[in-house]
Each structure stands twice: as C-alpha cells, then as structure tokens.
Amino acid sequence: MSTEDKLTTQSKDFLADNAIQNGIKKVEEEKQEIQNLDIELRYTNSELEKIQKLTAILRLAKELFLESVINYVYFLFSEHKESIQKIIDEESENYQAELKQITPIENMSRKDRDRFSGKIRLSPETSDKIEQLDMKDRINECLFVGINLLYKQLVGEFKTVNQEK
C-alpha cells in the first residue's frame, strides 16, 4: 500500500470516526433534552381535589390535563400579560403556603407520597411555553395557577351563578 493510499484510508477512517462521534453526541443531547422534559410534581390537597373534578368534567387523562393546564396559562399570559402576571404571583404564594401545610414528602407514607407527588413528561412545545412564561423552575406553581383559574372558570362561575338564584 502506497503512502497516498494510507493517507486516503486514514482520512476516510477519520471522517467515519468523526461522524460516529457526532452521532453519539447528538443522541446524548437528545437523551438530555428528553430528561429535561420529565418533571417532578408536588400537589396540594386543594389541587388534587380540583384535578379530580376537572379531569372528570373534561374526560381527560391526568397527564393530558396537566399539559393542557400549562397551555391554558400560556394562552392567558399571551392575551392578558399584566393581569395574569399578578395572578401568577398571588397564586404562587398560595401554592407555597398550601405546600407548607403538608407533611414534607420524605416524612410521608408511601401511599401519601404517591398521592402528593408525581411525574409528567412535557411535550417539547409545552416545555418551550414554560420557558417563555419564565416558569421553568416553577412548573408546579404554573400548574397550581392554571388549575385554579380553570376551576374558577368551569366550576366556580357556575357555583356563583347558582348561588345568586
């Protein structure tokens, strides 16, 4: 084999190795992105009650419902940025206050742990919306806000109208 043939073979090997390394890197990045879409959830008592009612009303699986709630908050934020931001801030405080009333997750029985916590894998689109809302580190609060707003819209308004009669 001539020196020129060896160099050609080496450059082909280098290109192949480089392509393989780039492929491996891309797969690892995609795995990381998928892991970033897996979200740990922490529920409050009121949230669990409202989730149960709303999923029954809308006949939606819990995971789809939770993702829809985030999309609802995003929609409201897009349409009413200033007023919804005030509500987000207030409801975030309410979420933190309710969370403090619950036993720390590590001290709960397994049954309660399963009840008050969960996981959801967000779609890339919903994950982008969370980032645009600047709530990537506050997804639980975003859910709390959305669940409360949706509950007021679907159930609370009816209760108010019904009580006035």
| Host H or E run for residue 42 | strand 38-42
The ranges assigned to domains in the chain are 40-164
pLDDT above 50 (res 34): no
Q: What is the pLDDT of residues 111-162, one digit of tens each?
A: 988 889 999 999 999 999 999 999 999 999 999 999 999 999 999 866 655 5
Q: How many residues does the chain have?
A: 165
CA-based nearest residue to 119, from 36, 45, 38: 38
For the chain, what percent of residues have pLDDT higher than 90? 50
Q: What is the pLDDT of residues 92-121, one digit of tens each?
A: 899 999 988 888 888 888 898 888 999 999
CB 45 within 8 A of CB 147: no
CA-based nearest residue to 32, from 24, 41, 44, 43: 24
